[in-house]
A and B are shown apart, each in its own frame.
Chain A
Amino acid sequence: MTGLAWAVPLLPLLAFVVQLLLRTKGTKKLVSFIGVGLTFLSFVFAVYLIAQSFIWNHNIPTWQINWLHIGSKVVTVGASFAPLQVLMLFIVSFVSCLVQIYSIGYMKADERSNTFFAYLSLFTFSMLGLVIAPNFLELYFFWELVGVCSFLLVGFYFYKESAKQAAKKAFIVTRIGDVGLFIAICLLFWKVGSFDFSIIQEAVKTNQISAGMITLIAILIFAGAAGKSGQFPLHTWLPDAMEGPTPVSALIHAATMVAAGVFLVAETFWLFEASSTALTVVSYIGAFTALFAALIALTQTDIKRVLAYSTVSQLGYMMLGLGSLGLTAGLFHLFTHAFFKALLFLVVGAVIVAFSNEQDIRKMGGLGKEQKWLGITFLIGGLSISGIPPFSGFFSKDEIFAAVYQSGKYDLFAAALLTAFCTAFYIFRLYFLVFTGRGAVGQTKTFSWYYQVPIWVLAVFPVISGFVQFPKPILGQWLKSSESGTLWWIALLAAFVALLGIFLAYAVYQKQWISASSLMKYSGFGYRLSYRKFYVDECYQALFVWSLKGLGWVLMGWDRFIIGGIARFIKSLPYELGTIGSYVQNGQVQRYLLISVFGFLLLLLTITAGRLIF
């Protein structure tokens, strides 16, 4: 039965092929049901695998065949089903299945919905393939495939200029990180002579690679992870990627694809463990990204952008956890975050539909009365992301706090706490602005079960998923990482900070004891800085776009005037000579005569001059 593990990634691929064939002929219902059905089947297999591995503790054998022979070197392809891989298979297939059900309702009116579902299947396949890859080459292959799917789905509304730009940006910015990953893979192959994780891990253990080289490779791999996972300074594509349809935002830019970076760092964690410098880089960039993105999320007015920056911030948390040697902490947060962030995005998608495609939170309000179920589910997601017990976010964040505290970097610990405060504030700012207060909806909408089922199913998980690690660290044992448990005072502190954030949001946006505008005025430049996203995009515009454009202009001038000038000169030289010649030979006897007279005079002059000189 474990031999069927292969079916998990292959079923979505099958779905993609069938959907592609039926793209123009098939009805919307048929195409979408093929996607959902096969993804659900794939999810069932994933559940079976997790039962095998997690409950019965079976080792699922790695499958591998030789693919290429390069001299004496052999490149293999295969699939490995270690606990980490199985966990990711479960998350990806589960969230993907739910998001596809949700999309049936959400994309009902879109005439290109068949293409949309085909893309979703392709994405699911690539992500599942990425997860089970046992070597760097296969991982890189799926890594790029995932990037392509992201590009296609972000640019799904390609007739919108902003969506087109966002798709390009998502592709190009992640490419910068991918170059890092590519170089790292090249270096590893050069040093070890293999792409296989297990062989490279052995080489690292037996000190076959110098310490400096390990640090370099680890940081390059992290660059790739930072590109995909939206870590500073490559985070700018993620908020812009919200131009895609909301289910895509939920699936790709919250729950699964952006987790690929975190997964990569976890997968190659032995490399990071071997280099404290690399770990420090990971933890500092993670902490900075977490705080930085949370500060931006405080003031954004587009509901999806708030969630996008929140995703960047939470991914920063995961990196911070990993960088502080908390492998379980980071993965646990990845696990819980996948559920509550997908939930939040799906709810927000329904909210946007309820407000007739309005995304500005200042124009929303009072939805909680008309759509009580949306209010409740958002509240579950919000409490979870804020870290309020007993919701899952509390446990996973707590693990990260403990890991950071135990690593002894107290500045990072303070940053993480501050981020927790900001997180609670911005998510409840959303809640109070959208769901309470004056109603601005007008007509009540009824949502079909395509909306309701995925949201309710996802709403269950933030409530229960925290308990896989508490009271007993089952997840940690399964992932075979030895970490000491949490400290109770940290848990209390974190919950208190989160409550403080919620209370502040309550005071400002619900009771209006402190008016939001005076807060805005009081913070002055800080507010503007946050609202304009710390001017990062503007800086990149000035630093890279304009400088490259300037270089382009210079090169174009060089080409047009210098190179082109020489070419034009060479072209015109015979032409001009010919013009002079034809001017002389105009067929008029008198001109010939004149010229011969000149020639004669010249002859006379030369002879005379010759006489005088010699």
Chain B
Amino acid sequence: MYLTSYLALAAILFCIGLYGVLSKRNAVMLLFSVELMLNAVNLNLVAFSRLGLFPNIDGQIFTFFTITVAAAEAAVGLAILISLYRKKETAEADQYNSLKG
């Protein structure tokens, strides 16, 4: 197995996530895309900890850590989203513009 295949997959995942963040209007889809990008980073960490120049367990620990934090972030994000949806009656991100000057 080559490190490059993992990195390429991670890059593709990251790009898909980035594309989603940039182009989707639905806030739920935005959160999904952010998760996708986070997981692409996790994949990188795992790949380097196993196939990198200096294989080490640190990367995998870091990945667990990131997954935990991401779960917490998703919980908070979704909670905000639901309360916003109740207030605005929409999930479109560009409608949340009441802070615009």
Contact = CB atoms under 8 A, between A and B. Distances in A.
Interface of A: 587-590, 593-594, 597
Interface in B17-58: 18, 21-23
B100 A590 contact: no
Interface in B61-101: 93-94, 97, 99-101
Contacts, number: 17
Contacts of B21: 590, 593
Binding site secondary structure of chain B: helix
A594 B24 CA distance: 12
B97 A590 contact: no
Interface string B1-30: 000000000000000001001110000000
B94 A594 contact: no
Contacts of A587: 97, 99-101
Given A588-B97, A590-B21, A597-B22, 6 more contacts: A589-B93, A590-B22, A590-B94, A593-B21, A594-B22, A597-B18
A588 B22 contact: no
Nearest to A591: B22
A432 B1 CA distance: 130
A591 to B, nearest CB: 9
A583 to B, nearest CB: 15
Q: What are the 5 closest A-B residue pairs judged by CB atoms, nearest first?
A: A587-B100, A594-B22, A590-B22, A593-B22, A588-B94
17 contacts: A587-B97, A587-B99, A587-B100, A587-B101, A588-B94, A588-B97, A589-B93, A590-B21, A590-B22, A590-B23, A590-B93, A590-B94, A593-B21, A593-B22, A594-B22, A597-B18, A597-B22
Contacts of A593: 21-22
A590 B22 CA distance: 5
Contacts of A588: 94, 97
A283 B93 CA distance: 98
Contacts of B18: 597
A589 to B, nearest CB: 8
Contacts of A597: 18, 22
Contacts of B94: 588, 590
Nearest to B100: A587
A597 B19 CA distance: 11
B21 to A, nearest CB: 6
A590 B100 CA distance: 14
B62 to A, nearest CB: 23
A594 B18 CA distance: 9
A587 to B, nearest CB: 4
A587 B99 CA distance: 9
Contacts of B101: 587
B100 to A, nearest CB: 4
Contacts of A594: 22
Interface centre among A587, A590, A597 (most CB of B within 10 A): A590
B94 to A, nearest CB: 6
A588 B23 CA distance: 12
Nearest to A588: B94
A538 to B, nearest CB: 69
